[in-house]
């Protein structure tokens, strides 16, 4: 540690100033001992990976996944593999920073030069995709279907509760009700993090339980071979022509070039959806940054010394420090740090990563198993066709129940993600403002919940406007393009943070450094591809 960077303070606690002087210096403290890993301490594993793993089963998995596999089968799932692996490396590295400082990685980014106001302007642009309420827009469709017995058609009139309502009015009403209603868990529970853990645990139990039951009863070995092999068919892309109703229209870029056939003619109309699948496989965009603050709220590493974000109701006695706290590098502190890092490693590899692959595989299993290959579908048409296929497979006794269950499952997948997406976006901006903006640094640490509530109200207002103006698929494509750009740049930025702000003994090894760099290249490439596809749609 650079002792010359120690700053004097009116407080008795010594401080450390590294990076931009517009950010407050870290406090210096002691790293607590990590609990020993054993079967008796298995509950320590139920942490950030559970919350983010459950949240990872969302719009990308339930909408973009079936939209692509319904037409092309499992061959394009390798994009999800690269996306998830890249995010694992990213998650490990942002948690590394939090274990050392107790701060979220977003705050760490603002500590680098040229200073917080430069990064504020840049990340407001990159993070704009997270404020689009495409999940609320999408979640209204399966709920409406359960209510009226079919995918609601905008121009049809339905009888509900002895009242007549058009499909369009029903969908709009449900979008507004769901969007506002799913914000309420963020107001209760003491620690906002605890509310999320409870909500996501229920979601995982119900959704994965149902999908595993369907897979066990109705799927075939051929379906699972196609899905599992699709995760490793690197280079397979959708092409124009070369297929029929029974064969997926895909070619492998590497095989095509090796055979002298040239570069395949890629179906550009599917590029935006493919980009969305990769972007939202796992978490996507800047939503991954929440892993680092959840690591803090779990009390891992120096997070135990910093505090948590409290809810508006029930969090009166909780607070969050305006700045992080780091520890001196000694043989003992390095030993303790490695102990905490093992928890992060296990959390990512044993909980988050498997949850992401399962969250992709099970919804795609439905479309591959129950839809003819090369099925053309838009938005929730794929989900409706899948539900019809499962109804036919289940027979006259259980068929209608399975139809309702598939669509209600889609609702359960998406509705909790309205909460997690909102909390995620609010968390990173509230935390960085709490540290970076001098006026807020003068607030009492208990008033963090007031700032969180005010920002939540502003987020809700923008969301209601967005739901009025734009449809869910358009919002999904726009968000995906921005998500990929944000994730790509963030990979490179995190690499810079950990190489500049962390002591030499705690910096990532070369394998992780290369992984972060390549992850940035991958996501930036997807962003360019998605942006090109969206631009073509606008021009046409």
Contacts of 169 (CB under 8 A, 6+ apart): none
Say what the pLDDT of residue 99 is.
96
The chain-wide mean pLDDT, for the chain, equals 80
- CATH number, domain containing residue 458: 1.20.1740.10
Span 142-169, pLDDT tens digits: 888 888 888 788 888 888 878 888 988 9
Tokens at 502, concatenated? 């962390």
pLDDT in tens, 367-422: 888 877 766 656 566 667 778 888 888 888 888 888 888 888 888 877 887 887 88
The three-state secondary structure class of 88 is helix
Q: Which of 413, 485, 416, 425 is nearest to 455 (CA)?
A: 425
- Per-residue pLDDT of 52-76, as tens digits, reads 666 666 655 566 667 677 777 888 8
Least confident of 3-12, 19-28, 506-515: 3-12
Q: What is the mean pLDDT of residues 104-109?
A: 89
Q: Is the peptide bond before 114 cis (omega within 30 degrees of 0)?
A: yes
Q: What is the reported pLDDT for 9?
A: 40
- Any idea what the Cα angle at residue 511 is, between residues 505 and 514, rounded to 5°? 110
pTM value > 0.85: no
Query: Structural domain tally of the chain?
Result: 1
Q: What is the dihedral of CA 170, 173, 174, 178, to 10 degrees?
A: 180
Q: How far is CA 503 from CA 16, 329, 506, 530, in A?
A: 12, 8, 6, 38
Q: For residue 483, what are the β-bridge partners?
A: none
**Residue 11 pLDDT more than 60?**
no
| pLDDT (mean) for 96-108 | 92
Confidence of residue 86 (pLDDT cuts 50, 70, 90): very high
d(CA 469, CA 481): 19
Mean pLDDT, rounded, for 461-473? 75
Q: What is the pLDDT of residue 19?
A: 74
pLDDT for the residue numbered 3:
40
CB 101 within 8 A of CB 26: yes
> How far is C-alpha 402 from the geometric centre of its chain's CA atoms?
28
**319-350 tens-digit pLDDT:** 667 688 999 999 999 999 999 999 899 888 88
pLDDT for the residue 514: 96
Q: How far is it, in rounded angstroms, from Cα 250 to Cα 267?
A: 9
Identify which of 499, 525, 526, 501 has the alpha carbon closest to the alpha carbon of residue 513.
499
Range of the domain at 492: 3-539
**Structure-block tokens of residue 160:** 């509900």
Strand partners, 326: 28
Q: What is the mean pLDDT of residues 208-228?
A: 87
Do 425 and 131 contact (CB within 8 A), yes or no?
yes
């Amino acid at each position: 540690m650079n002792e010359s960077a120690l700053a004097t303070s009116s407080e008795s606690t010594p401080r450390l100033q590294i990076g931009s002087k517009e950010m407050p210096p870290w406090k210096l403290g002691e790293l607590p001992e990590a609990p020993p890993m054993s079967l008796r301490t298995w509950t320590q594993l139920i942490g950030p990976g559970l919350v983010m793993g459950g949240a990872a089963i969302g719009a990308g998995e339930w909408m973009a996944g079936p939209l692509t596999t319904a037409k092309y089968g499992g061959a394009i799932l390798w994009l999800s593999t690269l996306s998830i692996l890249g995010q694992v490396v990213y998650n490990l590295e942002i948690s590394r920073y939090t274990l050392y400082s107790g701060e979220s990685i977003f705050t760490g980014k603002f500590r680098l030069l040229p200073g917080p106001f430069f990064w504020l302007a840049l990340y407001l642009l990159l993070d704009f995709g997270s404020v689009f309420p495409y999940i609320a827009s999408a979640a209204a469709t399966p709920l409406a279907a359960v209510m009226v017995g079919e995918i609601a058609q905008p121009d049809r009139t339905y009888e509900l509760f002895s009242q007549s309502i058009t499909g369009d009015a029903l969908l709009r009403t449900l979008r507004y009700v769901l969007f506002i209603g799913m914000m309420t868990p963020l107001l209760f529970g003491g620690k906002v993090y605890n509310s999320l853990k409870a909500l996501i645990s229920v979601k995982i139990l119900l959704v994965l339980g149902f999908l595993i039951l369907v897979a066990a009863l109705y799927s075939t070995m051929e379906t699972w071979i196609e899905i599992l092999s699709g995760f490793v068919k690197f280079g397979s892309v959708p092409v124009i022509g070369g297929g029929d109703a029974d064969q997926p229209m895909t070619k492998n870029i590497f095989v095509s070039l090796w055979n002298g056939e040239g570069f395949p003619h890629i179906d550009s109309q599917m590029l935006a959806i493919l980009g969305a699948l990769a972007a939202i496989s796992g978490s996507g965009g800047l939503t991954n940054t929440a892993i680092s603050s959840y690591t803090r709220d779990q009390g891992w590493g120096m997070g135990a010394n910093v505090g948590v974000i409290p809810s508006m109701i029930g969090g009166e006695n909780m607070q969050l420090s305006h700045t992080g706290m780091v520890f001196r590098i000694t043989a003992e502190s390095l030993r303790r740090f490695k102990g905490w890092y093992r928890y992060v490693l296990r959390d990512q590899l044993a909980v988050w990563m498997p949850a992401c692959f399962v969250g992709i595989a099970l919804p795609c299993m439905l479309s591959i198993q129950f839809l003819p290959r090369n099925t053309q579908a838009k938005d929730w048409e794929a989900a409706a066709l899948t539900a019809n296929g499962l109804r036919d497979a289940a027979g006259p006794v259980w068929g209608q129940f399975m139809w309702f269950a598939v669509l209600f499952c889609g609702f359960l997948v998406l509705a909790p993600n309205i909460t997690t997406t909102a909390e995620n976006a609010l968390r990173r901006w509230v935390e960085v403002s709490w540290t970076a903006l001098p006026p807020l640094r003068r607030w009492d640490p208990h008033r963090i919940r007031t700032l969180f509530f005010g920002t939540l109200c502003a987020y809700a207002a923008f969301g209601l406007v967005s739901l009025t103006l734009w449809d869910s698929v358009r919002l999904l494509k726009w968000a995906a393009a921005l998500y990929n750009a944000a994730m790509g740049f963030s990979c490179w930025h995190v690499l810079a943070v950990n190489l500049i702000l962390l002591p030499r003994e705690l910096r990532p090894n070369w394998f992780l450094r290369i992984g972060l760099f390549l992850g940035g290249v991958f996501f930036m490439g997807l962003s360019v591809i998605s942006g090109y596809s969206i631009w073509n749609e606008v021009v046409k």
